[in-house]
Amino acid sequence: MAFPEDVLTEDEHVVLHLHPHWKALVRPVAVTVLAVAVVVAVLVLAPDGAGRAVLLALLGGLALVGVLWFALWPVLVWRATHYLFTDERVLIQRGVLSRDRRDIPLTRVTDHAMQQRFSERLFGCGTLTIDSAGERGRSVLGDVPQVGRVQTTLYELVEAQYDRQPSGDELGEALTEVQDGKPLRESG
């Protein structure tokens, strides 16, 4: 489930494209290994007879449901969650069957903070909170890999975006020139 490139504007460039940290895959792998171990143990240890086939079918079915629910679904959720940082905005997309996408223009980012518990420091991930001007002012990105580096990159992107924006004086001069009927001067 790659991120669709058609949501980007013509001049927009991807700086970081992340999924949640790989630690989200530890539980699905453990569930799969446990389910396979249980089925193999029943095959090896169950006595021959009619009860063996019923026990194997019952445990095999439970193992399959467990793997689908506790292993496959979390992997799909992990794969369908995208944290995309571009030179214009932050895009957060989640959802396997339904989709939720949030675009935060860099010019609207008012604050960003990171938090790492001790275990997250060991794994090299953490939580990134982005505050922005607007109705849905706060976005929380969980299990961001290398969250310190991501926060620094976000800071640099926001600063670069503000440096590209014309100042209030420049905007006022441009509006005055337009109102006076003068053509806008070329910026170089």
Q: Are 163 and 107 in contact (CB under 8 A)?
A: no
pLDDT at 125: 96
Beta-carbon count within 10 A of 52 CB: 14
Beta-carbon contacts of residue 50 (< 8 Å; ≥ 6 apart): none
Alpha carbons 165 and 123: distance in angstroms, whole number = 38
The closest of 91, 98, 51 to 77, measured between CA atoms, is 98
Cβ(16)–Cβ(144) under 8 Å? no
pLDDT at 175 over 80: no
- Region at 122 (left for phi over 0; alpha for psi -120 to 50; beta for the rest): alpha
Q: Which residue has the tokens 């171990």?
A: 37
What is the maximal distance between C-alpha atoms in the chain? 97
Whether the full predicted model's pTM is greater than 0.75, yes or no, is yes
pLDDT for position 109: 95
| CA–CA gap between residue 93 and residue 132 (Å, rounded) | 17
Helices and strands in the chain, H and E counts: 6, 7
Residue 169: per-residue pLDDT? 62
**51-96 residue pLDDT tens:** 888 888 899 999 999 999 999 999 999 999 999 999 999 999 999 9
Structure tokens at 21: 């940290």
Residue 97 has a pLDDT of 94
Q: What is the mean pLDDT of the chain?
A: 87
The 10s digit of each residue's pLDDT in 120-133 is 999 999 999 999 98
Under the banding of pLDDT at 50, 70 and 90, the label for residue 136 is confident
Residue 103's nearest CA partner among 139, 127, 151 is: 139
For helices 26-45 and 50-67, what crossing angle results, to 10°? 180
Per residue in 23-48, pLDDT tens? 999 999 999 999 999 999 988 888 88
The pLDDT-based confidence of 150 (bands split at 50, 70, 90) is very high
